[in-house]
Amino acid sequence: MKKSIIAGIIIIGITVIISLVIRFGFFSGTSGLKDDPVRDCIKTVRLTESVIVVNVASDAVTFIRTVDGIVVIDAGITPSLTARYRKIVEKEFQRKDFLYLINTHAHHDHTGGNSAFPGVRIIGHENCRTEMLAGTGDPEKIKAWTLKIIEEYENEPYLDESGPENERENACQKLRFQHLYNDLQKGIRTVKPPDITFTDSLTIYAGGLAFHLFYFGKAHSGSDILVFIPGLKILMCGDLFSPGGIPAFSNGGDTLHWIAAMDRLMTKTSEIETVIGGHGQIMNRNDLERFNEYIRKKQDR
């Protein structure tokens, strides 16, 4: 081959690499992960025949199959990752009909992937819609913030005594933000707020299952709801609490609402076996009861 042809091929190759770096940032680097880093990071938990929770690190989406179609709870941080979860679930459930997407609150790591479900009705509290529309922010600022987080993960001294599992967790967390950055860069992460909203409570029926949605009051955000599915003995608690019932509140207090919501739920505890948190934590009735105690103690103060 002539030298000039070889030089031409090299120049084209370098140009392609540079354009990919400009387009996608630097984010195909996935130290600690294999050739398909997303596949390596995805955890699929099949809780029952009809319930699947898919995670990448703290990103989590829950899928519930009904005879009428699939109901989704929360949508993860960004559409390209959520589209991967969706594909897995379509294969597992052998169907592609998505009925509803329910957002447990407005935070971007629960609603950023909403656009991975085009045409699917999104349900959430009225404040979820308001908060999402008000919180769109400047995409450049969000990108800068995301870059900073990626850098922090890169600098994390994860090779400590916690070993390879921590290294992997760190790589998967970084991967979430890389996908977020790339989706922002490509302009495919659009704000898609709920189109069906409610202020106090709402029950939707799908394939013989009732999904009771009720507002909890200002707590972790201004739009937290609980989703109780008695037919499956499942409660979805969003980011209201973590294992041990520990509350994660950051938005003031609305104790009257909290107590009313818990009063409503505590008469149903025999109908709740599994509690699923907004980051894929699988909990049980005891965690809910501990949370109830915390709430009442907070009110007494």
Point out which residues bind Zn ion (CB under 5 A): 107, 239
CB of 162 vs Zn ion, minimal distance in Å: 25
Q: Report the residue number, 59 or 239, with the smaller CB distance to Zn ion.
A: 239
CB of 77 vs Zn ion, minimal distance in Å: 11
Q: Tell me the CB-side half-sphere exposure of residue 96, using CA atoms within 13 A.
A: 7
Give the span between the Cα atoms of 283 and 62, in whole angstroms.
14
CB of 159 vs Zn ion, minimal distance in Å: 30
Q: Report the residue number, 25 or 124, with the smaller CB distance to Zn ion.
A: 124
Q: Report the residue number, 107 or 176, with the smaller CB distance to Zn ion.
A: 107
CB of 225 vs Zn ion, minimal distance in Å: 12
Q: Report the residue number, 108 or 174, with the smaller CB distance to Zn ion.
A: 108
3-state DSSP of 76-140: CCCHHHHHHHHHHHHHHHCCCCEEEEECCCCCHHHHCCHHHCCCCEEEEEHHHHHHHHHCCCCHH
- Cβ contacts of 16 within 8 Å, gap of 6 or more: none
What one-character DSSP code corresponds to residue 231?
Answer: G
Strand partners for 212: 203, 228
CB of 148 vs Zn ion, minimal distance in Å: 19
Which two three-digit tokens encode residue 216? Answer: 């909890």
Give the span between the Cα atoms of 88 and 94, in whole angstroms.
10
Q: Report the residue number, 128 or 232, with the smaller CB distance to Zn ion.
A: 128
